[in-house]
Amino acid sequence: MSRAEKSRGRGFKSRPRHLSGWDQAYRGGHKRSAPFHDIFDSTSNIAFFSSRIIRGSLVADVGAGTGRITLPLASLASHFYAIEPLPAMRTILERNVGQCDNVSVIASDTQSFSLPKQCDATVLSGVYDHFLNDEEREASLGAIYEYLKPGGILLMDVYIGSAASSPQRLIDACHDGPMAYLRYIGRSAHGRVVNVLLRYETYRDGILVSSVTERSPVSFSTPGGVRKMLERTGFVVERAWWDYAGTSFKEDSGTIVLQSRRR
The pLDDT of residue 110 is 92
Measured distance CA(178)–CA(142) in Å, rounded: 47
Q: Is the pLDDT of residue 15 over 70?
A: no
Measured distance CA(95)–CA(1) in Å, rounded: 36
Query: CATH topology for 166-218?
Result: N-terminal domain of TfIIb (2.20.25)
**Is residue 71 within 8 Å of residue 92, measured between CB atoms?**
no
Q: What's the CATH number for 3-159+221-262? A: 3.40.50.150
Measured distance CA(251)–CA(135) in Å, rounded: 25
Sequence spans of domains, the chain: 3-159+221-262, 166-218
Measured distance CA(6)–CA(112) in Å, rounded: 13
Burial of 184 (0-12, 13-18, 19+ CB in 10 A): middle
Measured distance CA(109)–CA(107) in Å, rounded: 7
26-40, 45-59, 150-164, 194-208: segment of lowest average pLDDT: 26-40
Highest mean pLDDT among 1-5, 140-144, 190-194, 240-244: 140-144
The pLDDT of residue 250 is 81
Burial of 232 (0-12, 13-18, 19+ CB in 10 A): middle
Look up residue 250 and give its amino acid.
K
pLDDT, mean of residues 3-12: 41
pLDDT, mean of residues 129-156: 95
Q: What is the H or E stretch that residue 183 is in?
A: strand 179-190
Measured distance CA(60)–CA(134) in Å, rounded: 22
Q: Is the pLDDT of residue 16 over 70?
A: no
Grouping H, G, I as helix, E, B as strand and the rest as coil, residue 144 is helix
Its pTM stands at 0.85
Tell me the pLDDT tens digit for each residue of 17-72: 444 554 554 445 567 788 888 787 766 789 999 999 999 999 999 999 999 999 99
